[in-house]
Chains A and B, each alone.
Chain A
Amino acid sequence: MQYMLAIYGDERTAESTPREQMTEIVNAYMAYTKALQDAKVLVGSNRLRPTSAATTVRTVDGQTKVLDGPFAETKEQLGGYYLIDVSDLDAALDWAKRCPAARYGTVEVRPIWVM
């Protein structure tokens, strides 16, 4: 089964993180990505620009509105994702626990809905 590990964190904390610690975090993510590749479970992965770069589109009553900003103002924001292919939820949860985001923010594990 494929699962998305959605990575949430507080963007403001990230902005104020000292350079040295930021390097540490980036290294942790690189090591994690390599572990996923080595285990042959990584399908795809991306980091997202902060919500300050988000634009929202919604059509109501035939009128399309384009708004600056994210879908919703939340304390933690979606900052990236890993798409992995593993046997079941327990395997996905094991990977989620190892993800650096579990330490610095929150990892949401969602199964892919095969259509």
Chain B
Amino acid sequence: MTDATPTHRAAERAARQSYGKLVAYLAARTGDLATAEDALADAFAAALASWPTGGVPQAPEAWLLAAARRRMIDIARRRRTSEAAADRLQLSADEAASEMDPADVPDWRLRLMFACAHPAIDAAIRGPLMLQTVLGLDAGAIAAALLTAPKAMGQRLVRAKRRIRDTGIPFRLPNRGDLPERLDAVLEAIYSAFGAGWPDPGGLDARRQGLLDEALWLGRVVVELLPEQPEGLGLLALMLYAGARRAARRSVDGDYVPLSEQDTALWDAAAMDEAERLLQRANRLGRIGRFQLEAAVQSVHAARRINGRTDWGAIIELYDGLLELTRSPVVAVNRAVALTETAGPAAGIAALDELSQDSRLSAYQPYWAARADLLARLGRRASADAAYAQAILLEPDVAVRRFLEQRRSRMRANFA
């Protein structure tokens, strides 16, 4: 924000810390996220208008909650359906109750996240929905980060919120029996947001870069509110490990630097240490899962900053565990690449060949890039050339494309 008066800063701080809490609490009874967001936006506008002259209130969060609630009652009053009447009564009752205890706004962000990642909500919109309702990102920013049209993203978010309200998706924690599966959906949505921010490590686009931090924030909320869930800890550890390598993923000239060639001094040691502690905490809970295994792979890579080497045998074992759990072709590709390190390129290409019938990989860039690299090392020039062409075609990032083109030129020179 350019206008950094103390009031603005106070409002911004309150916004950052309170937004999701207030939206969750305001929408919990009625399930009406859109109205809660509108009312809260009005409350923030009122704060910006009155705090500079009247001073910042002692409890800004409670102030915002009261203002937003009054606004919601106004909105409900203007509707004339019986549904609105019921909402109005509920809101009035809430207000009466809140006067007894105005300072503590309960933290229901986790309930909100479970509502956003409910199985009745389209999986592709769960991440964006969380970014919007928990963190207050607008549709335009989310669309830009996900490389989609802002208008379409806005419409999908509106539809998803309406669906939460109309279908009666509850704002509460799932039953014990459903919790692991439902939590997986929440974690998947957070990780998809993180993944959307990942392809831009150079920070060329500030909005996409921001998405990494937003996803990390969501991960922290989960860990704070569900500290005994190992997969939540695993996801946060995974994101911290990956995020810690941000600065090392491009050279000063903006060139792509593959993991094996990264300068470990550029890795964020504090973030990696935190990730390590989180992963150990998760391990002690004794329930393994996908995110913990993926974080463990990252942990092995991170160890290179201490002992200068990578334990590929351990990585292969971890991928074996992941394969068993997920049956994911992406994991199989990663395993094949790791296998190359211990058993050579012929073993690696044999493992990749086994996957060649999987149609899901035909548009997966890392599969083609790995093939190209291994075929080049094996001297199979024509096949390598074709694989490079496919990888370059599929890669949206300019720096990575340039890297692949350089590799291809080098191979061609070697065989000239």
Binding site for B on A (CB under 8 A): 1, 3, 87-90, 92-93, 111, 113-115
Contact = CB atoms under 8 A, between A and B. Distances in A.
B357 interface: no
Interface in B66-98: 81-83
Contact of A115 (B81, B118, B168): B81
A28 B178 CA distance: 25
Interface in B162-195: 166-170, 172, 174-175, 178
Given A87-B170, A111-B166, 7 more contacts: A89-B168, A89-B169, A89-B170, A90-B174, A90-B178, A111-B167, A113-B166
A80 B83 CA distance: 27
Contacts of B168: 1, 3, 88-89, 92, 111
B120 interface: yes
B82 A114 contact: yes
A52 B174 CA distance: 42
Interface in B266-306: none
A89 B81 contact: no
15 contacts: A88-B172, A89-B118, A89-B120, A89-B167, A89-B168, A89-B170, A90-B169, A90-B178, A111-B166, A111-B167, A111-B168, A114-B81, A114-B82, A114-B83, A115-B82
Contacts of B83: 114
B170 to A, nearest CB: 4
Nearest to B119: A93
A27 to B, nearest CB: 27
A42 to B, nearest CB: 18
A115 B79 CA distance: 12
Nearest to B120: A89
Nearest to A88: B170
The 8 closest A-B pairs by CB, nearest first: A88-B170, A89-B168, A1-B168, A88-B168, A89-B169, A89-B167, A114-B83, A90-B170
Interface residues of B, number: 14
Contacts of A3: 168
A84 to B, nearest CB: 12
B82 A88 contact: no
Nearest to A113: B166
Contacts of B175: 90
A111 B166 CA distance: 7
A98 to B, nearest CB: 14
A37 to B, nearest CB: 22
A100 to B, nearest CB: 21
Contacts of B178: 90
Contacts of A88: 168-170, 172
Contacts of A87: 170
Give the most central of A89, A111, A114, A115: most B CB within 10 Å. Answer: A89
A92 B167 CA distance: 10
Contacts of A92: 168
A111 B175 CA distance: 21
Contacts of B167: 89, 111
Contacts of B169: 88-90
Nearest to B118: A89
B28 to A, nearest CB: 11
Contacts of A89: 118, 120, 167-170
A88 B118 CA distance: 12
A90 B177 CA distance: 13
A8 to B, nearest CB: 18
Contacts of B120: 89, 93
A87 B172 CA distance: 12
A57 B199 CA distance: 56
Nearest to B31: A88
A32 B219 CA distance: 41
A93 to B, nearest CB: 8
A14 B170 CA distance: 36
B396 to A, nearest CB: 38
Interface string B220-257: 00000000000000000000000000000000000000
A115 B82 CA distance: 6
Give the most central of A3, A88, A111, A113: most B CB within 10 Å. Answer: A88
Contacts of B82: 114-115
A113 B170 CA distance: 17
Contacts of B81: 114-115
A107 to B, nearest CB: 13
A72 B274 CA distance: 59
Contacts of B118: 89
Contacts of A115: 81-82
Nearest to A90: B170
Interface in B133-167: 166-167
A7 B63 CA distance: 49
A93 B121 CA distance: 14
B270 to A, nearest CB: 40
